[in-house]
Copies of this chain bind each other. A is one copy, B any other.
Amino acid sequence: MIRLGKQTIKLNNPPTIVNTASIVGPKESEGPLAKYFDQCLEDEFWGEKTWEKAESKIIKETVNSVISKSGIPSNDINFCFAGDLLNQCISSSFGLRELNIPFFGIFGACSTFVEGLCLASVFLDSGAANNILCATSSHFCSAEKQFRFPLELGNQRPPTAQWTVTGSGAVVVSKVGTGPYITHITPGKIVDMGIKDANNMGAAMAPAALDTLITHLNDTQRKPSYYDAIITGDLGHIGKEILIELAESKGFNIKNIYNDCGVLIFDKNSQDTHSGGSGCACIGTVFSGYFFKQLKNRKLNRILLIATGALTNATSSQQGESIPSIAHAVAIEN
């Protein structure tokens, strides 16, 4: 592989995304992308006694589905990269404990999905692996309970708040295949602009997305128009507008080709989701459900996928800390 500029790696043998799977909760099942997901759940429990157990079941079944769809025997999948939002990433460790595949736990908050794709790409291009599984999950109820307030309180949510996506997205990536290919990775740096409002994650994460976007464009000497679409993970409506403005101030006009998975997954007018979707599963399900199919059908041929994460927790918010953020990018091309 070749190091380009400050922090981009160009893959000599770009790995192929072989297949994807996605399962979503009831709210996502009523959104504009519902028809693209593999499975839509009718309630947040899926027969389990707790939201945490439900989330583990969702990632487990999504992973079983993607392995099956990939046609690759699970014995031939060399590593799994997975993580989630629950404390100590228990959705992944409990959901995938019977998987019997060497496991790297990763934590990038909502950037986890693309963090996994970055790591997998290096492992595949280098010959360390032939096939790798990447997965992530989130759950509205387990996330609200853990990061903000008990749902039973019925707290009012401010207009800047986002709605954590219930669901899981998983992909199998292979050393050889017919594409779509991961051609470049741009892992991000931690960026902290001092935003302290845990109900305004979009504003906290937009500067990290900007940093990774501009670094990627500079490193690769590409213009935004090289891509058919530039997609962020979960900046939501507010963060999306901020990123467009920030990019413009740096001389990059992305308005016509840029969108955010948190904006796409819910209908702002009818679903009462305020600033839009968020959570590890936001980009996980929207990429796995929607964008992967657009790439396979050649409706899109070159996308830049930028997952954004807020590296904060409930204790740090209570202790008055700001919200460090990060964004990881992969270029995916036919």
Contact = CB atoms under 8 A, between A and B. Distances in A.
Interface of A: 1, 3, 7, 9, 49-50, 52-53, 78-79, 83, 85-90, 93-94, 96-97, 99-109, 115, 118-119, 122-123, 125-129, 146, 187-190, 192, 309, 311-316, 319, 321, 324, 326
Contacts of A125: 126
A53 B90 CA distance: 24
A104 B103 contact: no
Contacts of A52: 315-316, 319
Contacts of A83: 107
Contacts of A49: 319
Given A87-B313, A93-B324, 14 more contacts: A7-B102, A52-B315, A87-B88, A87-B146, A88-B109, A90-B311, A94-B321, A94-B324, A103-B187, A103-B188, A104-B108, A104-B187, A105-B115, A122-B122
A126 B88 contact: no
A79 B9 CA distance: 12
A94 B316 contact: yes
A224 to B, nearest CB: 21
A298 to B, nearest CB: 30
A326 B89 CA distance: 13
Contact of A190 (B3, B88, B99, B187): B99
11 contacts: A3-B127, A7-B102, A52-B315, A87-B146, A88-B312, A90-B321, A103-B188, A103-B190, A104-B187, A106-B106, A122-B123
Contact of A96 (B50, B190, B309): B190
Contacts of A189: 99-103
Given A115-B104, A192-B97, A316-B52, A89 B311 contact: yes
A119 B107 contact: no
Contact of A97 (B79, B102, B127, B190): B190
A103 B111 CA distance: 11
A274 B99 CA distance: 34
Contacts of A146: 87
A107 B109 contact: no
A104 B315 CA distance: 22
A102 to B, nearest CB: 4
Contact of A93 (B86, B118, B129, B311): B311
A228 to B, nearest CB: 26
Contacts of A129: 3
Candidate in A78, A97, A123, A312 with the most chain B CB atoms within 10 angstroms: A97
A81 to B, nearest CB: 10
